[in-house]
């Protein structure tokens, strides 16, 4: 989930801030970012809404513009 980390950092958000925005812990965000936990479509949509991107971007292997 390096894409998630990239997008979060580009928006100067901490894991805690993103987690708070979508109703989960910073630990959960960390687990998504390092691949220890699989991102569900439902959670991807919530996170994408906060990050202002399409949810499928979170599953993309290419760089984000």
Q: What is the pLDDT of residues 9-43, one digit of tens each?
A: 999 999 999 999 999 999 999 999 998 999 999 99
CATH topology of domain 2-59: 434 Repressor (Amino-terminal Domain) (1.10.260)
**HEC letters along the chain:** CHHHHHHHHHCCCCHHHHHHHHCCCHHHHHHHHHCCCCCCHHHHHHHHHHHCCCHHHHHCCCCCC
At 63 the pLDDT is 56
Per-residue pLDDT band at 65 (split at 50, 70, 90): very low
Q: Would you list the domain boundaries of the chain?
A: 2-59
Q: Which residues contact 3 (CB under 8 A, 6 or more apart)?
A: 57, 58, 59, 60, 61, 64
Neighbours of 25 (CB within 10 A): 12
Whether 60 shows a pLDDT value over 90: the answer reads no
What was the pLDDT predicted at 62?
A: 60
């Amino acid at each position: 989930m390096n894409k998630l980390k990239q997008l979060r950092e580009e928006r100067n958000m901490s894991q805690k801030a993103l987690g708070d925005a979508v109703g989960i812990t910073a630990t959960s965000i960390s687990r998504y970012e390092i691949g220890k936990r699989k991102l569900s479509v439902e959670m991807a949509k919530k996170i994408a809404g906060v990050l202002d991107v399409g949810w499928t971007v979170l599953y993309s292997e290419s760089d984000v513009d």
